[in-house]
């Protein structure tokens, strides 16, 4: 979807693309609803990046947002930016369905410990996919490993857990998307990982109450060896393998 959805009535921001989804509660400081209806809009990823850049350099403390059916206007201090909205209905309910209420496995880590493990495992991962594997055993001990891409690079890193419960789990994922999330947090914060199996997105719990889902990658499967070619027969000769059926 490559955009950010603003649910003004509920105070929720949803951002997503093909690999990850982030949901963040964001209650407004003040809502002016007597001048018209309250809209919920989605803006494109490039426009969202421009808003983030504007806020980094803005001098104001609060962000004012005005919206209608076709545009959203962001103002902070002296900076003002208008963004066109996406056409059509943003499937926020379908996206929120990625976040189940009950998980089979829950693990907590200190951010610095998990981020260090992801970075070390990523060094040995395949350059094209960046795929690493997280294994959590029944005692909630976790290990991050690079998925060997046939280049002889292997390595695993034990990651100290701060707690956990549930079943053992194993899932492959793209290290970049986990690292991009963890890089935004303080090293001493505690982050929760929740899993429902290797074929479902796994969820990071943001310390402020938000959620960040990373899509799983397919489990590694060995490539079957090609069948040997039958030997060439001489003229007028019936090979043994053909005579045998």
Query: Which residues contact residue 100 at a Cβ distance below 8 angstroms, ignoring those fewer than 6 apart?
Result: 196, 200
Strand ranges, E, within 160-199: 161-166, 169-174, 190-195
Query: Count of CB atoms within 10 A of residue 14's CB?
Result: 23
What's the pTM? 0.77
Q: pLDDT band for 239, please (50, 70, 90 cuts).
A: low
User: Does pLDDT of 236 surpass 70?
Assistant: no
pLDDT value for 192: 95
Q: 196-222: per-residue pLDDT in tens?
A: 988 888 899 998 889 999 988 765 444
Taking only the tens place, the pLDDT of each residue in 151-193 is 555 678 899 999 999 999 999 888 889 999 999 999 999 999 9
Question: What is the pLDDT, as a whole number, of residue 223?
Answer: 44
Burial class for 128, CB neighbours closer than 10 Å (0-12, 13-18, 19+): exposed
pLDDT given at position 238: 64
Q: How far is CA 117 from CA 20, 135, 199, in A?
A: 20, 12, 22
* φ and ψ of 102, to 5 deg: -120, 135
Predicted local confidence at residue 5, as pLDDT: 92
């Amino acid at each position: 979807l490559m955009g950010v959805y603003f649910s003004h009535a509920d105070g929720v921001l949803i951002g997503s693309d093909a690999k990850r989804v982030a949901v963040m509660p964001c209650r407004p400081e003040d809502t002016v609803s007597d001048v018209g209806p309250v809209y919920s809009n989605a803006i494109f990823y490039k426009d969202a990046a421009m808003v983030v850049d504007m806020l980094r350099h803005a001098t104001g403390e609060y962000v004012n947002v005005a919206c209608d059916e076709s545009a959203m206007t962001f103002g902070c201090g002296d900076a003002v930016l208008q963004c066109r909205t996406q056409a059509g209905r943003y499937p926020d309910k379908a996206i929120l369905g990625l976040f189940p209420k009950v998980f089979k496995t829950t693990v907590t880590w200190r951010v610095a410990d998990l981020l260090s493990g992801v970075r070390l495992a990523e060094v040995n991962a395949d350059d094209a996919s960046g795929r690493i594997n997280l294994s959590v055993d029944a005692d909630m001990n976790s290990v991050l490993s690079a998925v060997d891409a046939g280049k002889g690079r292997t390595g695993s890193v034990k990651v100290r857990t701060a707690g956990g419960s549930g079943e053992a789990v194993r899932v492959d994922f793209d290290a970049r998307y986990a690292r991009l999330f963890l890089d935004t947090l303080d090293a001493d914060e505690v982050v929760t990982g929740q899993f429902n199996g290797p074929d479902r997105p796994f969820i990071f719990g943001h310390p402020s109450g938000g959620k960040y889902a990373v899509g799983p990658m397919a489990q590694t499967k060995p490539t079957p060896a090609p069948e040997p070619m039958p030997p060439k027969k001489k003229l007028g000769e019936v090979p043994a393998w053909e005579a045998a059926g």
